[in-house]
Amino acid sequence: MKKIIIILCLAFISCNFNNEKVLKSKTNNSIKLTGTIENLEDSLTVVIAKMDSRNFYGKKIDSTISLNGSFELEINIKDTSEYMIMILDYKNQSSKRNHLWIDNNDISIQGTYDDFENAKINGSKLTELSKKYFGIAEKYSNQMKNGEIDMKDYRKGIKKEQLDFLFENPNNIVSLTNFLNFTDNLNKDSLQIFYSKLDKKLQKSKKGIALKNSFEIEKIKIGEPFFDIIAKDLEGNNVKLSDFKGKVIVLDFWAIWCHYCHEQNQEEFPKLKEKYKNEDFVIISYSVDIDKKDWEKSTKADNIDWVNISNLKGVNDKVVKQYGVQVYPTSFIINKDGKVVNKMKGYEYDALETELDKIFGIK
């Protein structure tokens, strides 16, 4: 099974790269990325990809071939972002990868092929910062494995130390990116303090705006009335959440890039739709895609025949922020009185059905 997965991953990477490859051109914004890697065989494919929350492998930017234990790439940089460098060995059906942050400085990578994920990356202070941050999680994971701490101490300790680290190193895109993972678990004052430590450029960036929204936009609370949503279906018709008040509603947030969303669409929702067809019940899927073609493609692939809407504004959509969605899929159960009675993160088969049975009095 592992071998099959590796083959599929390599094929996926290759196909996507061929479709998205751009022509190299020397510009003032181009940087060189060179690698000197021990035990690196000749003629392996080296790919650089810009990370994207909608795609695990990111967006392929460029590639080259290894020669004499080294490789070199020249890429155009529009903004400071996280990238992934991958070495693909099609013959042995294996791959190596490492993550790095690139701004406007040339970068060199030194290490060994077998331990490429820990290769030294020179020329990127943001990468050093990122590795220190994730080193906190690694430290606590090792303590858990060695029996030095329990799960409670792990969760408490890692959260405190990571937040301390971010507040000590606030004014950069790496810290801002990771701080956004905590917005649901911090009070308004803490969010505002971190935001105030950002310079004007970061505050006006997409992620800076997302942070600002996290403390300025009122969020839904369990036990309180739902916030109305106005969005369009695939035919362009306006649909309101309030149109369905008086029914039990499952409001689900999903996207094309979310694997478990597709599982839930294909496995659970058709079952729920059939089981409660004689009840006052409706499923409403809210896509956080930004491309209508992606949304339509997923809809057809998953055979969605229930209410299906979107504003095509992505994960930073005001609706997404109002409902405090950070994990996909996330499903809300709204009762006939219009109150949000449950929020379920991720997909656990039968979990929604169990809660709905209670509402409908089914044993």
User: Tens digits of per-residue pLDDT, 127-181?
Assistant: 999 999 999 999 999 999 999 999 989 989 999 999 999 999 999 999 999 999 8
- Same domain flag for 41 and 148: no
- pLDDT value of position 210: 86
Does residue 356 lie within any of the structural domains? yes
pLDDT exceeds 70 at position 361: yes
3-class SS letters over the chain: CHHHHHHHHHHHHHHHHHHHCCCCCCCCCEEEEEEEEECCCCCCEEEEEEEECCEEEEEEEEEEECECCEEEEEEECCCCEEEEEEEEECCCCEEEEEEEEECCCCEEEEEECCCHHHCEEECCHHHHHHHHHHHHHHHHHHHHHCCCCCHHHHHHHHHHHHHHHHHHCCCCHHHHHHHHHHHHHCCHHHHHHHHHCCCHHHHCCHHHHHHHHHHHCCCCCCCCECCCCEEEECCCCEEEHHHHECEEEEEEEECCCCHHHHHHHHHHHHHHHHHCCCCCEEEEEEECCCCHHHHHHHHHHCCCCCEEEECCCHHHCHHHHHCCCCCCCEEEEECCCCEEEEEEECCCCCHHHHHHHHHHCCC
What's the CATH number where 342 sits? 3.40.30.10
For the chain, the average pLDDT equals 89
Report the percent of the chain where pLDDT is more than 70: 91
- Same domain flag for 353 and 272: yes
- pLDDT value of position 104: 87
- Same domain flag for 188 and 309: no
Does residue 175 lie within any of the structural domains? yes
- Same domain flag for 151 and 242: no
Does residue 264 lie within any of the structural domains? yes
- Same domain flag for 244 and 341: yes
- Same domain flag for 22 and 118: yes
pLDDT exceeds 80 at position 263: yes
Does residue 209 lie within any of the structural domains? yes
Report the percent of the chain where pLDDT is more than 90: 75
Instruction: Single out the residue in 104, 122, 140 at which a domain terminates.
Output: 122
Instruction: Single out the residue in 61, 96, 122 at which a domain terminates.
Output: 122
- pLDDT value of position 51: 87
Q: pLDDT tens digits, residue range 73-93?
A: 998 888 899 999 999 999 888
pLDDT exceeds 90 at position 351: yes
pLDDT exceeds 70 at position 16: no
- pLDDT value of position 29: 75
- Same domain flag for 103 and 169: no
What's the CATH number where 111 sits? 2.60.40.2190
Instruction: Single out the residue in 71, 87, 122 at which a domain terminates.
Output: 122
- Same domain flag for 288 and 185: no
- pLDDT value of position 21: 40
Whether pTM > 0.75 for this model: the answer is no
The total domain count for the chain is 3
pLDDT exceeds 50 at position 265: yes
- pLDDT value of position 52: 73
- Same domain flag for 111 and 177: no
- Same domain flag for 274 and 259: yes
Does residue 221 lie within any of the structural domains? no
pLDDT band at 58 (very low <50, low <70, confident <90, very high): confident
Q: pLDDT tens digits, residue range 293-342?
A: 999 999 999 999 999 999 999 887 889 989 989 889 999 999 999 999 99
Does residue 95 lie within any of the structural domains? yes
- Same domain flag for 19 and 77: yes
Owning domain of residue 23: 2-122
Does residue 98 lie within any of the structural domains? yes
Q: pLDDT tens digits, residue range 227-236?
A: 999 999 999 9
- Same domain flag for 235 and 342: yes
Does residue 138 lie within any of the structural domains? yes
